[in-house]
């Protein structure tokens, strides 16, 4: 059993090392090295298709004030990002306080988000975060990671000294050791990039901290961070505070 566990650890570590060695691009603002083997056009096409499917199954909000605010903030944040995507900003009638972005700049905001985003600057924190996912190409990066991971699992099944049935266990170890923490890293990175975007767009970046305090008050602290794809709110706020001086310098220069 010990040899099996060590084999799993070595295989998972080898997969993680392969991702680092193969890094070939860098994220905006943070400069973090990325492995991306999926083209921007491919990811954008997938994003546009998925976005249309989601909208077809959703109820689009007809709230004029919400729509105007989301489009106004979205336009300013997208311009601040410097990324020339075919940006779309849509409000979906859904009570869940949420928002999402698909590759190529397709952003949707739930009406329920306005329960926690109390003003335009707090909304800018959310949209900045979602726009950052697009400009940092996080979806393409995750697809690329999964492709490399799948290749590694196939190789492990063919060449490892432990039996083929242990490949499933390796997959579970890889999920906990590679995929989920990596996703948390992307979320934290989107927070940091989004903070810079909202400052460039003329929104007070300190509103991002207010937003997450509102979110924690509304939803509670959530489950254990170890099994989550999102950072714990306390950690999220701490990282935003650490990135705040740079964002405030940009914001104050524009004021």
pLDDT in tens, 7-57: 444 554 555 555 455 447 899 999 999 988 888 999 999 999 999 999 999
Q: Is the pLDDT of residue 78 over 50?
A: yes
Q: What are phi and psi of 194, to 5 degrees?
A: -60, -35
Percent of the chain predicted with pLDDT > 90: 62
Name which residue leads in pLDDT, 116 or 39.
116
Structural domain contains residue 12: no
Structural domain contains residue 11: no
130 catalytically annotated: yes
Q: Is the pLDDT of residue 229 over 90?
A: no
State how far the Cα of 55 lies from the Cα of 195, in Å rounded to an integer. 28
Structural domain contains residue 134: yes
Structural domain contains residue 17: no
Can you tell me the mean pLDDT for 177-201?
A: 86
Structural domain contains residue 153: no
For 64-74, the pLDDT digits (tens) are 999 999 999 99
pLDDT grade, residue 232 (50/70/90)?
A: confident
Name which residue leads in pLDDT, 6 or 84.
84
Please list the residues that pair with 88 across neighbouring strands.
Answer: 106
Structural domain contains residue 210: yes
Domains identified in the chain, total number? 1
In the prediction, which pLDDT does 59 show? 98
Q: Quick one: which H or E segment has residue 110?
A: strand 106-110
In the prediction, which pLDDT does 6 show? 42
State how far the Cα of 32 lies from the Cα of 28, in Å rounded to an integer. 8
Structural domain contains residue 46: yes
Give the domain extent around 204.
37-141+165-254
Q: Choose the catalytic residue: 42, 120, 130, 168.
A: 130
Listed in sequence order, the residues at least 6 apart from 171 whose beta carbon sits closer than 8 Å to its beta carbon are 153
Can you tell me the mean pLDDT for 79-90?
A: 97
pLDDT grade, residue 122 (50/70/90)?
A: very high
């Amino acid at each position: 059993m010990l040899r099996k566990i060590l084999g799993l650890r070595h295989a998972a570590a080898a997969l993680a090392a392969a991702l680092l060695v193969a890094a070939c691009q860098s994220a905006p603002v943070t400069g973090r090295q990325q492995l991306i083997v999926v083209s921007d056009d491919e990811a954008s096409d997938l994003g546009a298709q998925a976005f249309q499917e989601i909208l077809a199954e959703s109820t689009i909000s007809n709230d004029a004030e919400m729509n105007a605010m989301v489009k106004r903030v979205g336009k300013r944040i997208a311009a601040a990002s410097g990324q020339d995507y075919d940006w779309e900003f849509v409000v979906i009638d859904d009570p869940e306080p949420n928002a999402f972005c698909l590759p190529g700049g397709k952003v949707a905001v739930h009406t329920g988000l306005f329960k926690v985003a109390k003003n335009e600057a707090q909304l800018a924190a959310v949209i900045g975060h979602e726009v950052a996912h697009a400009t940092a190409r996080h979806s393409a990066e995750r697809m690329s990671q999964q492709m490399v991971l799948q290749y590694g699992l196939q190789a492990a099944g063919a060449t490892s000294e432990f039996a083929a049935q242990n490949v499933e266990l390796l997959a579970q170890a890889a999920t906990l050791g590679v995929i989920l923490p990596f996703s948390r890293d992307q979320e934290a990175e989107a927070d940091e990039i989004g903070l810079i975007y909202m400052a460039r767009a003329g929104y007070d970046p300190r509103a991002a901290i207010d937003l997450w305090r509102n979110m924690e008050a509304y939803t509670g602290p959530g489950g254990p961070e170890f099994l989550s794809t999102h950072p714990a709110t306390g950690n999220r706020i701490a990282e935003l505070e650490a990135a705040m001086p740079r964002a405030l310098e940009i914001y104050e220069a524009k004021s």
